[in-house]
Amino acid sequence: MQTNGFFTKGRLIFLGTCALIGVAVTITAYGRLAFAPKQERPVEVPAVERGSITDRNGKPLAVTTTFWHFGVTPSKVKNPAEFAAKVSPIVKTDESEIIRIIENAAAAGKRFVFIKRRLDQETRDILLDCLSQNEYTFVRLDPVPGRIYPENELASQLVGYMGVDGKGLAGIEYSMQSFLSPSPEKDQVVHGKNVYLTIDAGLQYKLQKIAEHALEETQAANIMVLAAYAKTGEILSYISLPSINLNEYSTADNEKVIDRPAMTFFEPGSVFKVFSIAAAYDAGLIRQDELFYCDGIYEKTMSSGEKVKITCLNNHGWQTARGALEVSCNDITAQITERLDTQNFLAKLRGFGFGQRTGVELPGESAGSIKDTTDKFWSARSKMTISIGQEVGVTALQMVQAATYIANGGTGLKLSLINKITDHEGNCEYQHLPEYKNQVVSPATAKYILSCMKTGAENGIGFRANLGDISIGVKTGTAQMPDPKGGYSDTDFLSDCLAFFPAENPEIILYIVIQKSQGVNYASRIVAPVIKECADTIIDYFGISRGKAASFEHSGKIRIKPAANIKMGSSLPDFTGASKRELLPLLSRDDIKFIISGNGQVIRQNPPAGTKITENMTIELYLE
């Protein structure tokens, strides 16, 4: 083979040497990468835009936002102490902790390390100014999808929480994960569905304030308040206190995150007599005018030799079944229940939904507990004690669903927390419709029980819940709570109350539970007044006609004061007291989004006055 003069022996040796050096460098670099410590990679933003969670009117309760992970290249931070001093006040992390993170990462040979995760937009903007002023070029801010909860504690256990991985961890965020954030498709952005809850945020806020006050007044461990449309099964208010600010969910203690209405079951006490009396009346075993005698104690020796003894708080004398409900008589309720066939009685209670999940759209719902005669803890007294709300475990949701049978002529409704689901363009893909269940008692039985509960509010121990101008049916209950050491506690009580209004044809079902109150624990004393206050609020909120509504004359002349000029500088002003008319000029701004709820004057705003104004921020104003 003949070559030209360019490829001399020396040049070939030189080129070969260079090639060998290149290969050696490549192998060395590959080896370093292969055996180097695993580097922390920035979180990639998934190709899914998570849907929002709103109340029934579209008020945002959980919305998607962008958070920022803040990190540095350790080897390029020449003065960690100086850097830490600059950024520490902004990211709210101790200087010593920032220095430690940087120095440990540098010692381990890491090329990148995160200093602080999940910075909000405002913090990120301030941090960028600091980085620019100090010419810090070794910092990286990675965008990650996140959630903000504009209403903080409002319905927190219901709404739930989304984790840093974009998956729901509790509540609706968890149970509706597949709708809110469907699986992403390759090279395509997927839009999640928007979930509209059945609750009304405005009503939820008002009732939650009442519940907070009741919790403080009674010094109780917790309180539950559920309100539902009697004709549709939609839950209008879902309250479980104590609760947690959802924006601080990761730091919450267990007591504040428990979804008590769905997850916890309890002995309801005398409220359960409503369903026991309904079962007996529906079976034709008692007459409305039939009298029973209460001498303060129910005693009976069974054929097996077992003795059953159930006491009353008072000697109630001669009473009908209606009277027994009015005064909450244990003795007469036990006498009535004794007439019922045990299996038929238990079947009727299961027909009301006790001992099984309601199927409401929440995770972790409890089925409660209804004993069977084959249960090892079944005794001669079990049927009678179940009839007065002992030896049975129910959830607050089960009580409300059972109440739908009484409110709708004996036919129940499935409870729901989802009003509708829409796509990202607002097209409705699901709309809640009433889902009727089996008829468990006759319309006549349901009507009779409602009338008994009505007189219970007018003449019975539930009088503190009486509204006066709108009929209401109530039944209170007070039960000793189980002692962890065995038996029943002498100090811990559960107090509850079930209500329907208007009583003749219920529109609203209301159920309230207070546990472990301090001092007074009778439900007729501490829960019935809260029922009244909540019912009044619901009636006024929805404008339900009152029988004795005040009327007055007006001259027809209305004086309108000149609209004030609301000025916005670099921070939010206090909008309190401003009318909707005064707010109109602000709505034309395209750099800020305003959400206005209600009519009248501003009573609350979010974010609060003094918050720095940032581009594309959302400001919510609540008018009343």
Q: Identify the residue with better confidence: 618 or 537.
A: 537
Each residue of 360-374: pLDDT tens digit? 999 999 999 999 999
SS3 370: strand
Beta bridge partners of 499: 474, 510
41: pLDDT confidence band, cut at 50, 70 and 90? Answer: very low
Separation CA 293–CA 614 (nearest Å): 73
In DSSP terms, 476 is beta-bridged to: 497
> Which pLDDT belongs to residue 42?
43
| Distance in angstroms (rounded) separating the CA atoms of residues 205 and 603 | 12
What's the average model confidence in pLDDT over 444-460?
97
262-314 pLDDT, tens digit per residue, is: 999 999 999 999 999 999 999 999 999 999 999 999 998 887 788 899 999 89
**For 115-146, b where at least 16 C-beta lie within 10 A, e where not — what string?**
bbbebebebbebbeebbeeeebebbeebebbb
Q: Is 152 helix (H, G, I), strand (E, B) or coil?
A: coil
Q: Which helix (H) or strand (E) holds 436?
A: strand 436-439
Task: Specify the pLDDT at position 36.
Answer: 44
Amino acid (1-letter code) at residue 263: M
Amino acid, res. 63: V
- Which stretch of 199-213, 459-473, 586-600 has the lowest confidence by average pLDDT? 586-600
Give the span between the Cα atoms of 250 and 256, in whole angstroms.
Answer: 11
Statement: residue 190 has pLDDT above 90: no
- SS3 label, residue 263: helix
Structure tokens at 107: 């010692």
Give the pLDDT confidence score for residue 263 in this predicted structure: 97
Q: Based on the number of CB atoms within 10 Å of its own CB, is 540 exposed (0-12), middle (13-18) or buried (19 or more)?
A: exposed
* pLDDT surpasses 90 at 179: yes
What pLDDT does residue 546 have? 79
Does residue 26 have a pLDDT over 90? Answer: no
What's the rounded Cα separation, in Å, for the pair 379 and 453?
30
Q: What pLDDT band is residue 590 in, cutting at 50, 70 and 90? A: low
Q: How far apart are CA 186 and CA 108, in angstroms?
A: 36
Query: Distance between CA 48 and CA 190 in Å, rounded?
Result: 5
- Say yes or no to pLDDT of 44 above 90: no
Can you tell me the mean pLDDT for 251-262?
91
pLDDT band at 34 (very low <50, low <70, confident <90, very high): very low
pLDDT band per the 50, 70, 90 thresholds, residue 559: very low
SS3 state of residue 27: helix
Per DSSP, helices labelled H in 108-151 are 121-134
Backbone angles phi, psi at 357, to 5 degrees: -70, 150
Q: According to the model, what pLDDT value does residue 117 have?
A: 86
The pLDDT assigned to 408 comes to 97
484-543 residue pLDDT tens: 888 889 899 999 999 999 999 999 999 999 999 999 999 999 999 999 999 999 999 999
Q: What is the DSSP letter of 45?
A: P
Residues 368/395, Cβ–Cβ less than 8 Å? yes
Q: For residue 162, what are its two tokens?
A: 């989304």
* pLDDT class of 222 with cuts at 50, 70, 90: very high
Count of beta carbons in the 10 Å neighbourhood of residue 81 = 14
556 pLDDT exceeds 70? no
Cβ-contact 70, 119 below 8 angstroms = yes
In terms of Cα–Cα distance, which of 124, 103, 104, 105 is closest to 113?
105
Within 8 A by CB and 6+ apart from 530, the residues are 210, 211, 214, 225, 497, 512, 514
Cβ-contact 495, 521 below 8 angstroms: yes
At position 116, the amino acid (one-letter code) is K
Per-residue pLDDT of 388-400, as tens digits, reads 999 999 999 999 9
pLDDT for residue 146 is more than 70: yes
- Give the lowest-confidence range in 219-223, 311-315, 438-442: 311-315
Confidence of residue 560 (pLDDT cuts 50, 70, 90): very low
In the prediction, which pLDDT does 503 show? 96
pLDDT band at 8 (very low <50, low <70, confident <90, very high): low
473 bridge partner residues = 500
What's the mean pLDDT in 98-121? 91
Amino acid 5: pLDDT:
56
- Of 130-139, 204-213, 245-254, 528-537, the one with minimum mean pLDDT is 245-254
Confidence of residue 38 (pLDDT cuts 50, 70, 90): very low
Supply the angle between the helices 273-282 and 443-458 in degrees, to the nearest 10: 140
Provide DSSP, 443-459. Answer: HHHHHHHHHHHHHHHHT
Token code pair at residue 592: 């800020």
Nearest Cα residue to 181 out of 45, 2, 26: 45
Q: How far apart are CA 354 and CA 347, in angstroms?
A: 10
H helix or E strand, kind and range, residue 298: strand 297-301
pTM: 0.78
Ordered DSSP codes for 305-355: S-EEEEE-SS--EEE-HHHHHHHT-HHHHHHHHHTS-HHHHHHHHHHTTTT
Strands 53-54 and 194-197: what pairing? Answer: parallel
- pLDDT reported for residue 576: 80
Average pLDDT over residues 164-174: 90
Of 554 and 122, the structure prediction assigns the larger pLDDT to 122
pLDDT for the residue numbered 475: 98
pLDDT value at residue 294: 96
Q: Is the pLDDT of residue 137 over 70?
A: yes
507: tokens are 């529109």
The whole-chain average pLDDT of the chain stands at 87
Of 28-37, 134-143, 401-410, minimum mean pLDDT range: 28-37
